Structures are given as C-alpha cells and as structure tokens.
Amino acid sequence: MAAFFVKFTSMIPNYLEKLIHEGKAEHKTFSGAVAENLVLTVPNNTYAIIYEYWYKPLLTQNGANVGGVPPGTLDWKECIQFVNFFNAEGYNAYWHEFQPDYTQKAVLSFPTTNPVLNNNYMVASGEHTTYRSVYIKTSRDISIYFTQLTDNDLNLTTGTVPAIEPLNNWFGYADPLLLINQLVSGYHNNAALLANYEPLQEFITSQVVIGARPDYVNQMFTLPFYGGQIPNAAQYAGAGTSALGKFRAQHFQCNYVLVNKPNPENLI
C-alpha cells in the first residue's frame, strides 16, 4: 500500500508547504465512503486548498451471482463516474473510467466469508482506485458528490463549424459540416432542459442553488436529479451483504492544506 501512495502522490505546492512549516497552515486528510454526497467543512476565517484525491468507483456487481436469481447484470452507466466539487465559490467535475472486466469465481475453489457466497460469483479484475492531481481553493464548506452516466441516447447532428481558430487542413478539421460539441443536444439528451453540454453555456445556473456564480463552462458532468445519480447503498449494500456491500461502494479520499487566515481576494 505504501508503494501505491508513493507512486501516485503529488507534491504539496511549495508555498503551502512553507506555510505549514511556519505554523500558518495544517496538512489534513478527508475521506468518506458509501454516501452519495460528502461535505468537507472549512472553518470561518480560513481557506482550504485540495491538491489531490483518490477515488474507488462504485461497483455494484462485485460478488454478484453467475446464473443466479437475479443474475449479475452490468449497468453501463457505472463505467464512467464523476467526482464533483461544488459550492458557491466554484464547481469542478472529474470523470473516472471503470473497465468492466469481471472474473468468474467458483465457491468450491475460492470460498468467501462476510458473507459466504453459495453460487459462482463475479469479481472485478485489477485495481480500480484512481488518482487525480487537482488545485481547488475554497473558503466555504464544499460538497463532494458522485454521479454516473445517464441512460438516454444522444441526438447527434451536424452543423456549420463556428468561428474558431485555427480551422484549416493543417491544424484542424476543414469539413464545413462537422459533429461538433455545441451541436450535441446535451449529454442528458433532454431538450426541455436546453442541455447544451460542451461547452456548458451557463446551463448549470438554472439548476443550482441561488448564489452560485454563473461561470461554470466547458466541463463535463451529469446531474443527479436528471438520471445521473448513483445507486443508493440500500440497493446493493443492505442486510446480508456484510463487508461485500462496503466493498461495492464508492470510496473517496483527498489531501488538502487548511490555511489559518482569511482567503486572500487576489489569490487565483
């Protein structure tokens, strides 16, 4: 485990490390699992900078019966999951891919406890915890929540290429009609939402709490209240699943520096 963290851990930004050694800041770790939403609390007159995190995706089919009742069924929505950081100071979304490579195990050759499985079962192969180096500064409590793909189809259309540079045979597509981001009718494919997806074109401002700044553009994400929500733990980690239910759940951990002074207004 130590080798994993050495391999994937980023360095603390130098000026933050200097503040720690001067006694003006603290290095902290925040983690959580199973819940769809976590809240990192930032005390008054301080600010936090999250600089890295790890995410283990939700894998509801770990330990599912092979040929059982009900049979194990892969939901493709789980194959891309999003870690979202949001408060009134900003929004950041990061996607994580899960390769659905499940291996069949036979209980006679590979028995289990907590719980004991009585049928052949599936286990996701390989390691699925992924790492991201980030820079997220906040002086307010920040919501960290998890979403996944939606199940609706996209309406793919072509249209005239907008006025962008460069656009020629050497450095870009020269075809006057292209499938371009602005003409995809939304990752959610819900015309009623005016869901321009990439770029976002301030769509999120009609969906988030009052007070959010209207500059969340050029980010991919899915909305939990329009099909992007991940399954509640009651659907895969209830009574009888024991440790297996927790193993199926998403896990999150981040490292951050808490600076013990008010947030400088000019700090980008």
The predicted-structure confidence for 61-100, as pLDDT tens digits, reads as follows 999 988 766 667 889 999 999 999 998 888 899 999 998 8
What's the confidence (pLDDT) of residue 203? 40
pLDDT tens for each residue of 21-33: 999 999 999 999 9
Task: Determine which helix (DSSP H) or strand (DSSP E) holds 7, and give its type and residue range.
Answer: helix 2-8
Gap between the Cα atoms of 149 and 197, Å rounded:
13
What's the confidence (pLDDT) of residue 187? 55
Residue 92: alpha-carbon gap to chain centroid: 10
What's the confidence (pLDDT) of residue 223? 82
In terms of pTM, does the model score above 0.85?
A: no
**β-pair type (121-124, 102-105):** antiparallel
Cα dihedral 231→216→173→164 (10° resolution)? 170
Mean pLDDT computed over 150-156:
75
What's the confidence (pLDDT) of residue 156? 62
34 CB burial (10 A radius; 0-12, 13-18, 19+): middle
Q: Is the pLDDT of residue 148 over 80?
A: yes
Mean pLDDT computed over 255-265:
91
Domain boundaries, the chain: 151-221
What's the confidence (pLDDT) of residue 174? 47
Cα 81 to Cα 140, 146, 171, 221: the distances in Å are 25, 7, 32, 9
Mean pLDDT computed over 100-126:
92
The residues, ordered by sequence, that sit 6+ positions from 138 with a Cβ below 8 Å of its Cβ are 42, 47, 48, 50, 87, 89, 90
What's the confidence (pLDDT) of residue 128? 92
Gap between the Cα atoms of 264 and 268, Å rounded:
9
Gap between the Cα atoms of 200 and 196, Å rounded:
5
Gap between the Cα atoms of 154 and 34, Å rounded:
30
**145's tokens:** 């929540």
Gap between the Cα atoms of 146 and 229, Å rounded:
7
- Residue count (the chain): 268
Gap between the Cα atoms of 175 and 268, Å rounded:
39
121 CB burial (10 A radius; 0-12, 13-18, 19+): buried
The residues, ordered by sequence, that sit 6+ positions from 30 with a Cβ below 8 Å of its Cβ are 38, 40, 253, 254, 256
Gap between the Cα atoms of 4 and 130, Å rounded:
11
Gap between the Cα atoms of 136 and 87, Å rounded:
11
- What amino acid is encoded at 208 in this protein? V
Contact 103, 63 (CB under 8 A): no
